Structure 1
Amino acid sequence: MVSLFVPCEPLIAMGLNGFGVESFSSYVSGAHAQQTFLEKAESTGIPETLCSYHKVFLGAAQLGVMPKPRYIISTNVACDANQITFRELAGQFGVPHFKIDVPYRQNEESVTYVADQLHNMTAFIEEQEHRSLTVGMLRETMTHTARTAENYDRLLTLSADRYLAGDLTAELQATFISHMLLGTVEAEKYTELALKEIRKQPAGRGINILWLHTIPYRSEHVSRRLSNNPDVHITACDMAYESLIPADINNPYESMARRLVYSPFNGPIGHRIDTALQKAKQIRADGIVYFCHWGCKATLGGAALVKRELEAAGYPTLVLDGDACDPRNAGEGQITTRMDAFIEMLKQHKNRSGGGTESA
């Protein structure tokens, strides 16, 4: 069992699949089956203000629905709730737990510190599995990581003026491709097929939206407006692209550590803003949605600064409050009203600038 931001290449190189609890919560929520698990977690003292993704998998574990893992690996990036929930899961299941501590400071000293922990993580996995990981096995996996990152970067560039049809879950799938599945042959193949498909599409662009943070794909309104819509669509999401930086195959541990330390979800909010601006330019974003998911304190706390800086750079920005997992906190009415108004504003701006789209 792993948390979303854990570098999984050592597991993959040994033929193991990390069970992502966030993906479990996403699946359960998408099936509209989350309520029982949320209520179970809250009934045992878990605060209502905790991230609903975490409450879903905690409730599922408490009810015996989640399978018992052999061991757990987690990191404090990108959610402080990880410190509580994965320790709780390890205690409940009675299994070993390895924690990766990523310093707030983004420098090479932090990279070295995290790389040492990743060496220890591999030793931990070897001890649990009773077999060894060779450098050659890890380098082969990192080769897939490097190619996947390169392909995805090309995909984003092409997405600036070509539309690859997909619904809201496409970005969710890309998030898992770029995290728990990063380093697999399948992840590389996914990006190859996406590149092949987008190159077939005719040039021409609708309204490109850069989405920051989780996507409320279970929202009927957001899905209806942004799914399979060439005129208005999510072109990139920072949850998917944040880990796709150039990989150093010859220094795998330092490369994985750098991915964590310099993640836009680690360190000061200014780093996340800078990365968003780089990607907004790359995909030629017409507007940016900053989604404040219920319980995510870091995202909520940075909302005002993010909006100010992105709009100062020329990108209309909508700060949207909601919950990607729990409909009780989603506020579908306000999401509908504010999303419609924002999209209409972007359409008018695009028409004035001479790049009009058909009615969405």
Structure 2
Amino acid sequence: MAQATPTLGRKSSAPWDRLRPVKQDPLESMGFVSKGDNRLLDPKTQESFYNKIVARYMQFCTQHAKDLDSAFASLSLEEACSSTTAPVRNQAIRVTDLPPVRAPSPHQHDFPVHVYGQASGGPSASPSAELSTILLALRKLREGLLASSASAQNPVFSQRVHVFNIRAAILALHPEGYHPSLLHLLTTLHTAEHPLPRSELIEMITYQILDTAIRQNDLTSAYALRYKCQVRVGFKSRVVDSILNSVVTGNWVTFWRVRHKVDGYVRAILHWHLESQRTMALKAIGQAYYSCDVRWILQSATSGEMDWDELVRAEDVGWMRNGDRVMIRKPKAKTG
């Protein structure tokens, strides 16, 4: 029996296809509503995109669990290095004692961590690049929520997104990410019909007051805000009172003591005062003493978070060290 003549055409082009499909990062593939990408106007897409962001954030925390402080500080340090060629004076925030990562609301189900390909922004990316991708994705989602707010049934989902965004951006030392979101949450999304849970409301007010006082260096507005919140919602916080008092009076003992007791989010906000705190303590010591114990200087200026060489480089200290003693200035010789 004669064999059939083989066909010349290929049944499948797969063996001959040299171009593999590009693995896109699911967070980067979504665009901004303001630039014409309307996918994030759909509530189901918003929920799905939020779940991906949360899973990615949890994966980031798990991947860098051994050195989470440096991972969160990497974004701010990279921005500082790119904006100036001068040495970076701000000390990296230490958040190794972070509270449990509060991603979704307690009443929400847990989101699985999806493992994706080694695309740009994937697990192989640097911590700063990954953190930047997460924060940018949150910005896209917040823009979509704002554009679709008129048709939204209630702001509860938007509240969850903003609370999560604020916490993540605070740890990343990214004011552009958390400050607008914080104002929108407290002035627009928190309403009498859909109020924030009491614990979250107090938490967000705390961040707003401390950010106003510490990062913005506006103590008058911070005290006014504290009084207004005390009258309107009964806000009270010993932590806020102690921090404000220590900043006003220059009491670095209280400042360091409180900073060691608070959680990672408040510690991150206090990061913006560390340089001023060091400078103030060193000026006071320089005016009051001729010589000091080096350990006491380090404890007063940095709460032991820097060694002597780090302090000298950060603050350009010109004092001479001799063993455990530091010569600050020599007494004037008596005349006559």
Length-normalised TM-score, structure 1? 0.27
Higher helix share: 2
Q: Which has the larger radius of gyration?
A: 2
* Structure that is richer in strand per residue: 1
TM-score (norm 2): 0.28
